[in-house]
Amino acid sequence: MVENRAPGYISSVFENHLMPFKEFPYTPKHPEFSYYFTYLSKTAFFPFFYLLALAIIPFVFSKKQWLKNFLLYLIIVAASFLLGQSSAIMKNQWYIAPIYPLFWLIISVSIYETYHLFKDKFYPINKYYKAIPIVFMAIMMYTFSWYYISIYERNEKRMSSFIYQPERDGDFLRKVFSWDKNIDNILVLRYTKPFSDRQLDFYVKKYRYFEDKNIIISSEVNDTLVGKYVLCTEPKLIEKVNQEYMSSIIYKEKYGILLYIIKKK
């Protein structure tokens, strides 16, 4: 059904999500192998990432073989997923999200067993041992609550002005037409990107149908640009146009620019 509505969707998923371990059709985000490890340990799962080391205690001291097997299973699955995702050339922060439940299970099981090992060793008859986890959790909440507050504040500032890359052409196109109703012909200059192209196609069809706009999509920087309004959100293409052509800036914002190409230099 999806393939009928969007021909080429299945092949695009295969080529752009399942196969990009060696190459990618355009400049990839975070191609370095260590990206996810750094992201998890320094930002996304900090400081809890370092609590994963608690798993050593049950492995060494616990007599519950089933618990050791369960921890080993979680660690193998998490490590395999992390290595697999790190091997891909294209990385995004949300691609690694399935690892969080595995990490939390490892930490929670490790804390649980460590607590009971500690209790059995040092507090076999002390009636106040039940207060230990309460005190521990209170310290954790007090110590790390600032971090979650900072995440919220940081995301509020960043996401309020952030536009996901496939949306940038269409969003800037919408803004241009809202700023100037007299512009009817625009050439959108961009690299070919299978998923993003379908996103832009939606906006092109929308403005052609509802507002009778003439929008052309091209990836070629050549003399056909002369005398046209050119919209672009690709920094490399913008640089190439500025190097080869004289132009005037009509509109410019964080993610895009609208140029009127005057002549070749």
Give residue 82's pLDDT band: very low, low, confident or very high (50, 70, 90). very high
Rounded to an integer, the average pLDDT of 96-101 is: 90
Assessment of whether the complete model's pTM goes beyond 0.75: no
Q: Which of 85, 81, 91, 88 is nearest to 23 (CA)?
A: 88
Give the per-residue pLDDT at 26: 57
| The pLDDT value given to residue 222 | 85
Spatial distance between the Cα atoms of 59 and 70, rounded to a whole number of angstroms: 11
Q: What is the mean pLDDT of residues 177-190?
A: 84
Query: What percentage of the chain has pLDDT greater than the value 90?
Result: 10
Measure the CA–CA gap between 83 and 139, rounded to whole angstroms: 33
d(CA 156, CA 17): 29
Looking at residue 77, its pLDDT comes to 94
Give me the chain's average pLDDT, please: 79
Mean pLDDT within 179-189: 84
Q: Which residues contact 146 (CB under 8 A, 6 or more apart)?
A: none
The rounded distance, in Å, linking the Cα atoms of 67 and 61 is 11
**Greatest mean pLDDT range, 1-5, 196-200, 214-218, 257-261:** 257-261
Q: Report whether pLDDT(161) > 70.
A: no
* pLDDT band, very low/low/confident/very high, at 95 (cuts 50, 70, 90): confident
Task: Identify the top-confidence range among 113-122, 185-194, 210-219.
Answer: 210-219
Distances (CA, A) of 98 to 134, 150, 177: 29, 23, 40
Give 264's contacts (C-beta < 8 A, 6+ positions apart): 223, 226, 244, 245, 246
* CB atoms inside a 10 Å sphere around CB 177: 18
Cα separation values, 130 from 61, 110, 120, Å: 21, 17, 12
Higher per-residue confidence, 136 vs 43:
43
- Taking each helix axis as running N to C, give the angle between helix 65-87 and helix 99-122, from 0 to 180 degrees, rounded to the nearest 10: 150
